[in-house]
Chains A and B, each alone.
Chain A
Amino acid sequence: MNEFATTPHSSSGALPLTSSQYLIWMGQSLYPDRPLYNMAMCFEIAGALDVDRFRRAFRELVRQNDAMRMVFEERNGEPRQILQDHIDFELDYLDWSGRDTTEKQLKEWAARRSRVNFDLGERLFDAALIKLSPEKYVWFFNEHHLIIDAWAMTLQYRALAGYYHALGDEAQPEPEALPAFREYVREQIETREQTAKSSAAAHWCNKANTLARAPAFYGRDKRMVDTASQRISLDLGPERMAALQELARRPELRSWTLHTSLFNIFASLLAAFTYRVSGQQELAIGTPAHNRTSPQQKNIPGLFIELFPLAVSLGPDETFLSLFKKMQEETNSFLKNARAGTSTPELSRAYNVVLNYINASFPDFNGMPMRLDWVHPDHADPAHHLRLQVHDFDQRGTIQLHFDLNTDIFDQELRTELPAHFLRLLDQFLANPAAPIAETALVEGNGEISVPDSEVIVPDTVLTTFEKIVGQYPGEMAVATESQSITYRDLDQRSNQLARFLLDNGLEKGDRVALLLRRSPELIISIWAVLKAGGTFVPVPVHTPAGRALGIIHDADARLVLSTSDLIDHLEMADRNIIRLDVEQAFIAGLPADKPQVTLSGRDLAYLIYTSGSTGLPKGVMLSHAALAHYIQWAGSTYVEQEVPVMPLFTSIGFDLTITSLFLPLLTGGTIIPFPETDSPADLALLDVLRDDRINLIKLTPSHLGMIDGEEYAASRIRTMIVGGEFFKTSLALAVSRQFGNQIRIFNEYGPTEATVGCVVHEFDRGQDEEYRAVPIGLPIARMPVFILDEYQHPVPNGVAGELYIGGRGLAEGYWGQDDLTAEKFIRIPALTDGRLYRSGDLVRMNRSGQLEYIGRKDEQVKIGGRRVELEEISSALSRHPAIGNAVVSLRSRRTQAAKVADHNCVRCGLPANYPTAEFDEQGVCHLCRSFQHYQENVQKYFRTMADLKALFTEKPGSADRAYDCIMLLSGGKDSTYALGQLVELGLNVLAFTLDNGYISQQAKDNISRVVQELGVDHVFGETPVMNEIFVDSLQRHCNVCDGCFKTIYTLSIQLALEKNIPYIVTGLSRGQFFETRLTEELFRKERFDADEIDNIILQARKAYHRVDDAVRELMDVSMFADDTVFERVQFVDFYRYTDVSLEEMLNYLDQRLPWVRPTDTGRSTNCLINQAGIFVHKKEKGYSNYAFPYSWDVRIGHKTREASLEEINETIDEVEVQKILDEIGYTEARKSADETGQLIAYYSAPASIDTYELRDFLASRMPDYMIPVQFIRMDRLPVTSNGKVDKEALPEPDHIRPSLKIEYVAPRSDMEELLSEIWTDILGLDRVGVFDNFIDIGGDSLSGIRLMARINEMLELELPINLIFEKTTIASLATAIEARIQTLLAAMDRAE
């Protein structure tokens, strides 16, 4: 959207700005005190310059070059430029010939002087002439970009040289006139309508829709960026230059001219570089079009250039040459469509990198050699994180590169490294254009990340340490449950006895022993027994489906299985040696308790643990004694302080995270408290654990932490928390820290099973980590060096994402029985290190605090509740179903499901297609408009007249102690201002109330104060210190700010009304807003229409509304809502229920009767600056504006046109401004992880749908519950990409699935539940609702509550109170209540008969 000033007043000579000027003017207005658009040059002239002649020549330049005499001012909010006839300026002459001026001193002087802040209303240039010696002069020339571009500077230079030459000539010929810039400006303004309609404008408009977001260089994606910029310059030098010239002349790279070829080379390089240091493949680079299209324009000194994007998409195997070809086409398209006045702010948002290839040069000055230095003012447009300037201004024959780097994005270290990274790519391009771009190493060295070795001697096995601890603390408690306590001595002896038993049963060193046991003392004894007997334990959690458990036992080739009768008897395992501990207990207790003589080395396997495998079967990871001992030794030294640890054992034993809880306490003299599995599949042991007041150290996952949200644990004994297994959000860490009274150490421990539990760790730091979305994973532990490598196994530069490769002591030996997979995952890279490295498949990067940050997975692996899941394992299992052809499983977050793009709008009301539940008929009419026809009459009946309004107020005559008849909620907008005027005209005594939410625009405030003064009404501003918290809560609950703001207004105005004994509060809500907040279709559909009933329902809803637990209820004084009488003392009146005024009438009234002016400093729909932020978040999260629905009603009932509504709901939002506001109020997108947990969705191809229960059953025997998809979608065939893989992007979004809740789905059990379930699913738009699901949990709110109850009353012909839904919040309880009600009615009828 281009904006221009109004048509110029020809008389005054003022002109509007061209669109290039406008953008610069806007940029400067944002940073009025920064010299970000100064263009300064130092021309060093070698020769005896005639100073007076130079001065006169400069004067001539100012006289001839009209652009230099332009000054700028703002009139009615719009900038304009005025040509001055004369500018009072004399060239500053500085004679430094007497002193020894070094180049450095000169540079510093020039840099200082270049940083002047030009007053845009005055002269926009500065110039000085310095005499360094009789034979050397420096002309310093600085101008504001508003009047000049690089090409124009060469014109000025040449003109000045020409005047200087002419003035030396005796004959003094008339100096050549410079063509006028103002003519160009005038032409631009006159043709701007044509320009807007041109095919070029259409091209860029379409282009804007295809551009990706700007990339994050080296992972730096800071939102608030200042203007400070540093220039790093380098000269390509003769060798590179020759190679470059040669390259540019090659036939396959030849473009229109040598300069076009060079331009394309640099553009390709910059794109390649940006890709390599951001990882982003869809990129746009901004570049200026010179816009001088005619020979005449080439001679005008002024501002012509305008930036346009060059967009390319880099494939995985892109070579320099193939990228060059893409860039060449893109450049052609750019050259063809770059037309002055067609660039837009939307286009510029897509890039933060600019290539400025300057094909302009400055010749000698009147025969004297000239050297030029382009002075950087140390500031630049902050939207341009990196600008690459490429030029050979003074015709040296070599190209100079300037990297202008924003210092907020690039720290000192990066500013030094960046040009080298660029040059490495340049050199590779020069050497071999056919080389893949990804192949070039950007950094030198092996990139090892490690910490100094602790020099602690780690024993080969944990058995050695255990023996020592038993010797030290024989009587201390090792394992404690409610019923039994086991001392270290007991544990040692009982495990010795069991070890003997195992050996007696044929166990040999290295044999695997499966442990199918509950979390219990027996499990712990068994683990130690297996290790002491020289065996390898294989944990099999008790809830493992039988098929999978047998599969693991079989795959591990377990010599023995240790279990108990109740757990093992249903498994059919004839061929295995099963030891039932309950059966053998007495016998084992009689065996000798001394240590069996078995010698173990560090290489022997301690355990074999199974994780999800991509082949459809779980894979066993082999961990050695040395690896286990190393981890536990490190964990003890890090996690255990003075207190001996008391740790709960409550997580699955099949999950390697649990290894910490199994071993750490016993090897540090602490105690394990086991919490056995229950029969329920949902593991709620954590809640018991936290209730237990013995533990002081706990290991768990972020998902666990999500479960305890909101509880208070300040009195807990827990001092240390080890969090591992998945992405750990900072917001969650902060919340947990607060819950524990900020008295707790929280460690984020990262580590794949293949590197023994944990190998990278970070202690959460509340202050420092806040700037990151996720808690960093920190640095590797001692003796575990890691590397971050790109696809070619080169180390990546700091900040750039790469795959984490892990080396060191803790590496697993490999995968059991899968040598090929082991060889693929455990590799050697001799160039980097001698040891083995495990390719983790995890993407990480080094953040700016020098900590590793986890980003995500490279492959198909996902985490569910902290547990690794290979999606391919599920899909390949599903594919084995006889009726299924092909299957794919995808993890979809609930939020992305919502944000679809609207591809059309209702032809009548403009409702966007992505509005939830919107349905359209063949004519493109939405369901709301269609059904509206049937009850339109009833809607009309709901509305009243002004006479009714007057009657309402006179019914309750003002008593003596009452100063006011009503409060008017005055937002300052047109609707509420009009309403206020009308109330005053009715003769009412009105108190106007406005909530100052901190974001009311100044112009709106001015309107308010003028209007209330004019009308002579009293006015108060309400405010609350918790406004920002309310905004954040509102954004999180409703994705808008209005809900929170409205509730605050209602709360404060009710307080005020009570205080001043005012019986009515009048709102200025539009009729459309009634339908958004109060009215629903159901209310009007009834044949017997009753407005009073509607009012009653609305009142019920209002009561329920104030009971919702949100930030307003939590943070503000809401004591008056404790009982409902408040709603008798204060009543709400919607002004627009009583008046039907057209927009035109309203504006006429405001124009003629009140001093109200339409504000220009806010978005269109509002007086409030933060509203834009709300709309932005809503659009982003839900895909449509929160105004889309109320406006559709305004259109439907004739208060707005469809066009006006569409224009407003599609209005462009200034993201930068919005981001500032969101930062200000403290809104971050991060929510509790539990909200965002994705859901597994399976897609399968089959001739006919298969029952979901059948598919769940089919998978249930093969995998644990958490791996079973929540929804199965049948397709005729799955979409595939060009290389034959399933195209996940093209899979349909699953619609409206019941969110996964802690409560299991329970189907309706009676006719009443069946009926209610149908109504619920319909109104909430879900696939199904369980009878125990809480109405609020599954997305219900007060409005849907009204609809729901209205629908129930309609269908059952009952008159149940609306707030019943907020008392009986499940289908089950509601059904019981309704049945009871029906029974009572029937009984009453019986009696009556």
Chain B
Amino acid sequence: MDKQLITYIKDELHAGDAGLEITPQDDLLGSGLVESMGMMKIIGFIENQYGITVPPRDMTIENFLTVEAMVNYISSRQ
């Protein structure tokens, strides 16, 4: 799941930038890797890929700041 998410971020939000390194613990927002629109694309991807619905109230920093947090959130919803 980590890898799927990281690949998605690289491919879709950074046009497949080969030199980019993202770890599951990286702060995606603080580092500027992802901004709000990008975050919505990731949420859309998660919804489609893992068959869950993310209600707007769950769209928080706590759940989406890092790839690791996303994985935890997804497991809690599945």
A interface list, Cβ under 8 A from B: 254-257, 259-260, 290, 292-296, 329-330, 332-333, 335-336
Contact = CB atoms under 8 A, between A and B. Distances in A.
Given A254-B61, A256-B61, A332-B56, A295 B39 contact: no
Nearest to B59: A332
A293 B56 contact: no
Contacts of B22: none
Contacts of B36: 255-257, 259-260, 335
A295 B14 contact: yes
B40 A336 contact: yes
B29 A257 contact: yes
Contacts of B40: 332, 335-336
Contacts of A257: 29, 35-36
A295 B56 CA distance: 25
6 contacts: A255-B61, A256-B36, A256-B39, A292-B37, A336-B40, A336-B44
Contacts of B71: none
Contact of A256 (B13, B15, B35, B56): B35
A254 B12 CA distance: 25
Nearest to A290: B37
B56 A336 contact: yes
Interface residues of B, number: 17
A295 B12 CA distance: 8
A420 B14 CA distance: 43
Contacts of B13: 295
B34 to A, nearest CB: 8
B35 A336 contact: no
Interface in B25-70: 29, 35-37, 39-41, 43-44, 56-57, 59, 61
Interface string B5-20: 0000000111100000
A114 B67 CA distance: 48
Contact of A296 (B15, B39, B57): B15
Given A330-B56, A332-B40, A336-B44, 10 more contacts: A254-B61, A255-B36, A255-B61, A257-B35, A257-B36, A293-B37, A293-B41, A329-B57, A333-B56, A336-B56
A329 B44 CA distance: 16
B70 to A, nearest CB: 13
Contacts of A259: 35-36
Contacts of B39: 256, 335
Contacts of A293: 37, 41
Contacts of A290: 37
Contacts of B14: 295
Contacts of A296: 15
A259 B39 CA distance: 14
B42 to A, nearest CB: 11
Contacts of A333: 56
Contacts of B12: 294
A91 B77 CA distance: 59
A1031 to B, nearest CB: 47
Nearest to A296: B15
Nearest to A263: B36
Interface of B: 12-15, 29, 35-37, 39-41, 43-44, 56-57, 59, 61
Given A256-B61, A290-B37, A330-B56, A336 B43 contact: yes
Contacts of A329: 56-57, 59
User: Which of B29, B41, B56, B61 has most A Cβ within 10 Å?
Assistant: B56
A293 B35 CA distance: 11
A292 B38 CA distance: 10
Contacts of B41: 293
Contacts of A260: 36
A293 B56 CA distance: 19
A259 B12 CA distance: 22
A448 B14 CA distance: 61
A266 to B, nearest CB: 14
User: Which of B37, B40, B44 has most A Cβ within 10 Å?
Assistant: B37
Per CB-CB distance, the 7 closest pairs between chain A and chain B, nearest first, are A332-B56, A332-B59, A256-B36, A329-B56, A333-B56, A335-B40, A260-B36
A758 B59 CA distance: 57
B29 to A, nearest CB: 6
A330 B56 CA distance: 7
Nearest to B36: A256
A223 B26 CA distance: 54
B47 to A, nearest CB: 9
A295 B36 CA distance: 13
A330 B57 CA distance: 9
B15 A335 contact: no
Given A332-B56, A335-B36, A336-B56, A256 B29 contact: yes
A290 B38 CA distance: 12
Nearest to A256: B36
Contacts of A294: 12, 15
Nearest to B43: A336
A87 to B, nearest CB: 31
A260 B36 CA distance: 7
Contacts of A332: 40, 56, 59
Nearest to A254: B61
A256 B38 CA distance: 10
A181 to B, nearest CB: 19
Nearest to B28: A256
B20 to A, nearest CB: 12
Contacts of B35: 256-257, 259
Nearest to B47: A336
A296 B12 CA distance: 11
A330 B55 CA distance: 11
A839 B40 CA distance: 51
Contacts of B15: 294-296
Nearest to A333: B56
B6 to A, nearest CB: 17
A333 B13 CA distance: 20
Contacts of A295: 13-15
Contacts of B56: 329-330, 332-333, 336
A257 B37 CA distance: 11
A332 B43 CA distance: 10
B66 to A, nearest CB: 13
B60 to A, nearest CB: 9
B44 to A, nearest CB: 7
A330 B61 CA distance: 16
B52 to A, nearest CB: 14
A293 B43 CA distance: 14
A1090 to B, nearest CB: 65
B28 to A, nearest CB: 10
B58 to A, nearest CB: 9
A1363 B41 CA distance: 71
A335 B35 CA distance: 11
A304 to B, nearest CB: 12
Contacts of B61: 254-256
Contacts of A335: 36-37, 39-40
B40 to A, nearest CB: 5
Contacts of A330: 56
Nearest to B13: A295
User: Which of B14, B40, B61 has most A Cβ within 10 Å?
Assistant: B40
Contacts of A256: 29, 35-36, 39, 61
A261 to B, nearest CB: 10
Contacts of B57: 329
A259 B40 CA distance: 15
A784 to B, nearest CB: 51
A1282 to B, nearest CB: 19
Contacts of B44: 336
Contacts of A336: 40, 43-44, 56, 59
A933 B43 CA distance: 55
B59 to A, nearest CB: 4
Contacts of B59: 329, 332, 336
A150 B35 CA distance: 18
Nearest to A330: B56
Nearest to B14: A295
A290 B37 CA distance: 9
